[in-house]
């Protein structure tokens, strides 16, 4: 064996290795032109510290973006109590519309985020969320506000959901391949917790007269609440986070990938296959999170939305970390299949505990099964995101020798495509936020649930055929 093949090869992205990089570029608020996280010496001395700083600024910004995206899931449950004369179907549509705009905006954010840079895009995408929150805070104070106005506000709140795609795509560039999964798991998992935060805190915030700007609203029982607090309280938080992002994060030149290099994913079969699977996992997570508060209120009105609704999204967000870790041990495809089997079983359980005929249903059985559905959706979120880079590295590096220029170029293209696919699958899956509440608005709850079970069965078949069976074309 030649010394060239036995010695460790330097496969860092091409740069002038003889030049000493300017240390000033790694300071907060600067654009980094020299970035080589796969270089162990660079990573230990500089890269890890810079990447960690950028990650922990991104996390709270993403969490609050999820708060804005999901604020209608709780706000809608209180509108009828304070005099808004909307039907149950109209209320479900208010919770659904942010998913439609969020999913659509994610498609653009996927490709714009890396192009513009982590620092600039995080700051800008955070500060723009102030607009729908201010509009929402004033609109809910008047029960004569037209339904069309509230739909428009809900649509603008949906933009908060788009931040997920840009944030994960950007953060991935900061980390070496062996740490990308953990970094995106932290970013995505804690970001997803914004769903629970808004569902846990909103019922508390709207009862506080101390925080209120404007008049309160009187409920039918004579008590007073302040729905505007659900929006106004987050405005100063967004301002602070935007400033911290602008002055504390960095832009990476290496992440500034032209769309021409990213659009190739639309020709990749596994982009579409993984999108199908991620619709099943994250689409279920975010859709159930949006619909559950109103589903509890309309199906089991004797039980408190504030007490129970936040638990499922919290469990799902935390399970996302576990899903990635388990997938590293057992294989992503196997864990993904397990998650769909678990979700299908959980939803069948939910169906059995729903009110039917003369039966008033069983709330605690219904809720326990929903918790299981959230748990397995979180497991699947982690395992599918683990699959994507494995699949694309395997496809691009097949037959190449490590250490060669061809290998390095293929690895870089695999990372570009993995980041783009991660963002795109997350964009399409976000439509679950729209379709699940919309199905509850237009079909009987039981019929909608059986539709979900059928979809999960198709996901099991797809994951097994392409990724888990013997001689699968892309084992992951």
CA pair distance 219, 338, nearest whole angstrom: 45
Residue carrying structure tokens 């559950």: 292
Q: How far apart are CA 386 and CA 169, in angstroms?
A: 14
pLDDT at residue 19, as a whole number: 52
Nearest to 246 by CA among 57, 60, 110, 69: 57
Sequence-distant (6+) residues with CB within 8 A of 166 are: 109, 110, 112, 113, 114, 121, 122, 125, 423
Report in angstroms the alpha-carbon separations of 258 from 25, 71, 110, 222, 293: 22, 34, 12, 58, 41
The C-alpha atoms of residue 449 and residue 447 are separated, in whole angstroms, by: 5
- Length reported for the chain: 476
Q: Which among 192, 67, 188, 75 is positioned nearest to 130, based on CA atoms?
A: 67
What local confidence, expressed as pLDDT, does residue 181 receive? 67
The per-residue pLDDT for 5 is 38
What pLDDT shows up at residue 215? 86
CA distance linking residue 86 with residue 83, whole number of Å: 9
pLDDT of residue 16: 38
**Alpha helices for 212-299 (secondary structure H):** 229-232, 235-248, 259-262, 269-299
With 0-12 CB in 10 A as exposed, 13-18 as middle and 19+ as buried, what is 464?
middle
pLDDT of residue 415: 79
Ordered per-residue pLDDT tens for the chain, 476 residues: 333 333 334 444 444 343 556 788 899 999 898 888 888 999 999 999 999 999 999 999 999 999 999 999 889 989 999 999 999 889 989 988 998 999 899 888 877 777 787 789 899 999 999 999 999 999 999 999 999 999 999 999 999 998 887 887 778 788 887 777 678 778 888 888 898 999 899 999 998 887 888 888 888 888 899 999 999 999 999 999 999 999 999 988 766 667 777 789 999 999 999 999 999 999 999 999 888 998 999 899 999 888 998 999 999 988 987 888 888 888 889 999 999 999 999 999 999 999 988 888 999 999 999 999 999 999 999 899 889 988 998 899 888 888 888 888 888 888 788 888 988 898 899 898 888 988 888 888 999 999 999 999 999 999 999 999 999 999 98
CB atoms within 10 A of CB 336: 33
- The predicted structure's pLDDT at residue 168: 76
Task: Give the Cα-Cα-Cα angle 263, 265, 253 (nearest 5 degrees).
Answer: 60
Radius of gyration of the chain (CA): 23
Sequence-distant (≥ 6) Cβ neighbours of residue 134 within 8 angstroms: 231, 232, 235
DSSP letter for each residue of 326-374: HHHHH-HHHHHHHHHHHHHHHHHHHHHHS-BTTB---HHHHHHHHHHHH
Question: Global pTM?
Answer: 0.81
């Amino acid at each position: 064996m030649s010394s060239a093949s036995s010695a460790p090869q330097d496969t860092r992205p091409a740069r002038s290795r003889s030049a000493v990089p300017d240390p000033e570029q790694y300071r907060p608020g600067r654009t980094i032109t020299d970035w080589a996280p796969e270089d162990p010496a660079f990573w230990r001395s500089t890269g890890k510290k810079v990447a960690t700083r950028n990650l922990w600024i991104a996390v709270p910004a993403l969490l609050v973006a999820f708060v804005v995206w999901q604020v209608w899931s709780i706000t809608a449950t209180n509108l009828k109590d304070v005099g808004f004369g909307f039907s149950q179907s109209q209320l479900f549509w208010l919770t659904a519309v942010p998913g439609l705009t969020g999913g659509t905006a994610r498609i653009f954010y996927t490709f714009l985020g890396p192009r513009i840079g982590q620092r600039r895009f995080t700051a800008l995408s955070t500060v723009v969320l102030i607009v729908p929150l201010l509009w929402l805070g004033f609109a809910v104070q008047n029960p004569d506000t037209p339904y069309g106005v509230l739909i428009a506000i809900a649509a603008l709140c949906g933009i908060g959901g788009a931040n997920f795609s840009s944030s994960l795509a950007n953060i991935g560039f900061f980390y070496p391949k062996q740490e990308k999964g953990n970094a995106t798991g932290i970013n995505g998992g804690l970001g997803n917790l914004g769903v629970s935060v808004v569902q846990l805190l909103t019922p508390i915030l709207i009862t506080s007269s101390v925080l209120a700007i404007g008049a309160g609203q009187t409920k039918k029982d004579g008590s007073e609440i302040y729905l505007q607090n659900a929006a106004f309280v987050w405005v100063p938080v967004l301002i602070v986070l935007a400033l911290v992002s602008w002055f504390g994060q960095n832009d990476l030149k290496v992440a500034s990938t032209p769309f021409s290099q990213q659009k190739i994913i639309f020709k990749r079969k596994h982009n579409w296959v993984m999108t199908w699977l991620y619709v099943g996992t994250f689409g279920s997570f975010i859709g159930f999170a949006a619909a559950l508060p109103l589903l509890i209120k309309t199906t089991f009105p004797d039980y408190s939305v504030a007490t129970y609704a936040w638990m499922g999204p919290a469990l799902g967000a935390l399970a996302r970390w576990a899903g990635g870790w388990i997938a590293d041990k057992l294989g992503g495809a196997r864990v993904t299949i397990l998650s769909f089997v678990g979700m299908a079983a959980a939803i069948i359980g939910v169906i059995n505990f729903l009110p039917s005929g003369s039966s008033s249903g069983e709330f605690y059985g219904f809720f326990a099964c929903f918790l299981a559905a959230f748990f397995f959706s979180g497991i699947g979120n982690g395992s599918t995101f683990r699959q994507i880079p494995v699949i694309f590295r395997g496809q691009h590096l097949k037959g190449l020798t490590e250490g060669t220029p061809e290998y390095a170029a293929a690895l870089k293209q695999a990372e570009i495509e993995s980041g783009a696919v991660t963002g795109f699958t997350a964009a399409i899956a976000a439509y679950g936020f729209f379709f699940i509440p919309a199905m509850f608005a237009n079909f009987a709850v039981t019929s909608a649930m059986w539709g979900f079970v059928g979809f999960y069965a198709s996901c099991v078949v797809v994951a097994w055929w392409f990724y888990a069976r013997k001689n699968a074309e892309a084992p992951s």
